[in-house]
Amino acid sequence: MKRILLWVVPFSLLILNTVIGGMALEFYKKVADYYNKPLCYWQGGYA
């Protein structure tokens, strides 16, 4: 039983980490896109 747990726990943590990381990455991309538009606009305005 302990051997199975030793295999299951790291894999489940890895999967959980990947899912959370992927969600965070998507969120970050959306935020970056949202903030990128005004930044590009202002940079273009000042240039």
d(CA 39, CA 22): 25
Question: pLDDT at residue 46 above 70?
Answer: no
- pLDDT > 70 in the chain, percent: 77
Written as one string, the DSSP assignment of 8-38 is: HHHHHHHHHHHHHHHHHHHHHHHHHHHHHHH
At 31, list the tokens.
């935020």
Query: What pLDDT does residue 31 have?
Result: 84
Domain positions in the chain are: 1-47
Mean pLDDT over 21-44 rounds to 77
